Amino acid sequence: MPENEPKPGETAPDTVRKGKPKPTVLASDSDAPSEGTPVVPRLSAYYSDARVKPAAFVKAVRAEKIRSFDSEDVSGAAQRLGETDPTLARTVALLGKEPEPVARWVVDATKVSLNLYLPDAVSGEHEAAKSFFDRVVRMSAEGLAAKDKQRRARAQNLLRLVLSWLIGQRNLSPTDALLSVRKAKKKKDGETASSLNRDAARLLGRAKLNQLLNLSLIAALFESAIAQEAKERREVFSSLAGLQDRIASLETELQTTGAELKRTNEDRTRLTNELVAAQKKLRDEKELRALDRTRQAGRFRGFLAERLSPPLSDARDALDFDPPVVDAARQRIEMAITAIVGVAENSNE
């Protein structure tokens, strides 16, 4: 069998690359079932064989330059996740690993596990990260305290996966996460600040150096959070004082504006009355002008019928004679002109 060809029963990588294919990564003695066994960079291969170490799997994915696992591989791994990784230990082992396909798969596996083990928590997935994590922690309390080792380990690992996802992609604050876990922890009867201080001192006394360094990091985190909260509180108080001054100023302006509004309303009423009166006057003038036009039209029709039409008609008849009676026609036309001039002079008076 060729060196780069998968053994019977193994799934060959489906990612096609240009150029000369790179040789399949071979696991070392500490990373694989046996010396020289190829590690197939597929999720199905990783979850189906517990002997494949996470580091070797990630190394194979990186060496093959896989940009994403194919949809069939992801779907199959998601469907069989409850069977192939009942405690989610192998999924947790991939936390914080590169390349990107592995990190993307861990998030997908986290959501699949939530649907599988905490389906009631999924309804709040789109709410604020802190509220969602509070819900997950609260619903995980029973599993975290379970006597069954596998169930307890699964609850712990699922909480780690959700925590990593929310901090990495949903901007969950580490301090909020720690406080959420603290709230979920069952308080002892009679627990006080003094007893908490005593328990913390006992914990520090038993801690190793590395653990103390880790605890000091948490202390620094909360110290920074407390300082930030104090700063924000001062800023809020400063803003509150500014708002109170602004409110007082606005109240003064409101009183002034109220007086001005009263005067404005009075002016508006006065102007409205003036407008109504002006509109009435305009309507009356329009009616008078219409009546004048009617009278003028009647006078003009009477003028045409009584003063202008007869002499012009006689002039036309005089011109129709054979031979035409020009003097008579001229006389009638002059009569018409005289009538027109008379009417024009009367209209100018």
Mind listing the pLDDT tens digit for each residue in 131-153?
Answer: 999 999 999 989 998 999 999 99
**Mean pLDDT throughout 8-28?**
41
Per-residue confidence (pLDDT) for residue 321, from 0 to 100? 82
Q: How far is CA 181 from CA 76, 166, 209, 277, in A?
A: 33, 14, 24, 78
- What are the b/e assignments for 194-213, b being 16+ CB within 10 Å? eeeeeeeeeeeeeeeeeeee
Type of residue numbered 23: P
Q: What CA dihedral angle connects 207, 208, 214 and 219, to 10 degrees?
A: 40
Mind listing the pLDDT tens digit for each residue in 192-237?
Answer: 777 767 877 777 777 777 877 776 777 776 677 777 777 887 888 8
The candidate with the shortest Cα–Cα distance to 176, out of 203, 145, 212, 136, is 136
Q: What is the DSSP secondary-structure string of 213-275? A: HHHHHHHHHHHHHHHHHHHHHHHHHHHHHHHHHHHHHHHHHHHHHHHHHHHHHHHHHHHHHHH
Angstrom distance (rounded) from CA 208 to CA 26: 38
Angstrom distance (rounded) from CA 45 to CA 51: 10
**Mean pLDDT throughout 305-313?**
78
Q: Report yes or no: 304 and 312 within 8 Å, Cβ to Cβ.
A: no
Q: Which two tokens stand for residue 283?
A: 């309507």
pLDDT at position 23 over 50: no
Q: Which two tokens stand for residue 98?
A: 């590169």
Task: Say whether 304 sits in a helix, a strand or coil.
Answer: helix
Per-residue confidence (pLDDT) for residue 19, from 0 to 100? 40
Angstrom distance (rounded) from CA 183 to CA 175: 12
Its pTM stands at: 0.54
